[in-house]
Amino acid sequence: MSGPAGTGPADRALLGWGIAGCGWVARDHALPGLLAAGQRVVALHDRSTAAMARMPLGAARHGDVDAFLATPGLDAVYVATPNAAHRELVESAAAAGKAVLCEKPLAADEADAEAMVKACAEAGVLLGTAYDQRWHPAHAALRGLLPQLGTVTAIRIVYCCWLPGDWSPDGFDHDNWRVDPARAGGGAAIDLAPHGLDLAGTLLGEDVVELTALLQRRVHGYSVDDGALLAGRTASGVLVDLHVAYNTPDQLPRRRLEVVGTRGLAVATDTMGQTAGGSLVLHTVEDGSAPVAVPFGAESPFARQFAAFSAAVRSQEPWPYDAQRDLRLHRLLLDALRGRNP
Ligand SMILES: NC(=O)c1ccc[n+]([C@@H]2O[C@H](COP(=O)([O-])OP(=O)(O)OC[C@H]3O[C@@H](n4cnc5c(N)ncnc54)[C@H](O)[C@@H]3O)[C@@H](O)[C@H]2O)c1
């Protein structure tokens, strides 16, 4: 894995995008990101006409997938349906020869994820996973701090929120599929841990290859986990631990990423999420415990993600994250959640 591709005007590539699944993340984060990246959105698809109507732009709206995929000028599809509904759309888009950027987790289970990766490989279309946090400017800055940390020994992640059974991210009447094991594939762990696992690999340049998990159902009373601790190790021996949860009130500090080494500690606070912002500080052995604030840009992670993916589709930049690698990480997580890893 290499670092994020450049996203300046010189390497901007223009695609015609379609959005399949017009809910919270598509409307509030992906669409603004696409527009900020200078992309054209030519078509929308959702099984809910109300969801499509809430998308604030003048693109074609199709409840029918084939009509959506036949939209003139459509080059790439962003898939943002509930996890178990990714496969059908990714396979259809691949069969139509469209590049696909699919939301995380790749799928609700392993078989769907494998089929999606296979379908895109066979069709010769680029498949990316929409791990937006790898594009956060603070995380790019954090990568640059690694040489000052000495030998990196561990990454410690807290990524938690409050998600009751009747949760709605945007005040609309929501079908909370996140607590339905069939549609989500699990609870807090499958929803939130993929970001941290991806980030660890992105930051270190090597992925977690061993992973164990402890799941919790403690607060909300639904049938999926509302909290989890995961412990992993990379091939070279960096330890990665994650606390992810749906049972931490949003009013509490709940988003933190620490990279610790033999000479320093980098701490990113409130950077894990959908938007730019948060803070990054560096503690070094030389400076004692006094943290030094590290500056970073304000560009939307979604905008950077769409710019980089579009440049990759236009072959201006390589897409640095192989779909097989994302599939390996997905399998590793699912194995850990099933308790198959020691
Ligand atoms: N990258 C991130 O930070 C991030 C953040 C939130 C959600 N996500 C991911 O994005 C996806 C969507 O999450 P969300 O919170 O936006 O959900 P949501 O419930 O707000 O929206 C999902 C939309 O998909 C539509 N839909 C459901 N089944 C469909 C089908 N079979 N065909 C067509 N449309 C269908 C629904 O009508 C709804 O409009 C999930 O995979 C989730 O994990 C990623």
Spell out the per-residue pLDDT of the chain, length 342, in tens.
Answer: 544 444 444 447 899 999 999 999 999 999 999 999 999 999 999 999 999 999 999 999 999 999 999 999 999 999 999 999 999 999 999 999 999 999 999 999 999 999 999 999 999 999 999 999 999 999 999 999 999 999 999 999 999 999 999 998 887 777 899 999 999 999 999 999 999 999 999 999 999 999 999 999 999 999 999 999 999 999 999 999 999 999 999 999 999 999 999 999 999 999 999 999 999 999 999 877 789 999 999 999 999 999 999 999 999 999 999 999 999 999 999 999 987 543
Q: How many CB atoms lie within 10 A of CB 181?
A: 15
Q: Is the CB of 25 under 6 A from ligand 1?
A: yes
Burial grade of 237 (CB within 10 A; 0-12, 13-18, 19 or more): exposed
Whose Cα sits closest to atom 27 in ligand 1?
A: 81
Tell me how far apart the alpha carbons of residues 108 and 130 are, in angstroms, rounded to a whole number: 15
Of all atoms in ligand 1, which is nearest to the CA of residue 191?
43
For 333, what's the count of Cα atoms within 13 Å in the CB-facing half-sphere?
Answer: 35
Residue 37 structure tokens? 């990246």
Reduced to 3 states (helix: H, G, I; strand: E, B; else coil), residue 283 is strand
Of all atoms in ligand 1, which is nearest to the CA of residue 52?
39
Q: Is the CB of 80 under 6 A from ligand 1?
A: yes
Q: Is the CB of 47 under 6 A from ligand 1?
A: yes
Apex 173 CA angle, 171 and 177, nearest 5: 105
Reduced to 3 states (helix: H, G, I; strand: E, B; else coil), residue 149 is helix
Whose Cα sits closest to atom 6 in ligand 1?
A: 25
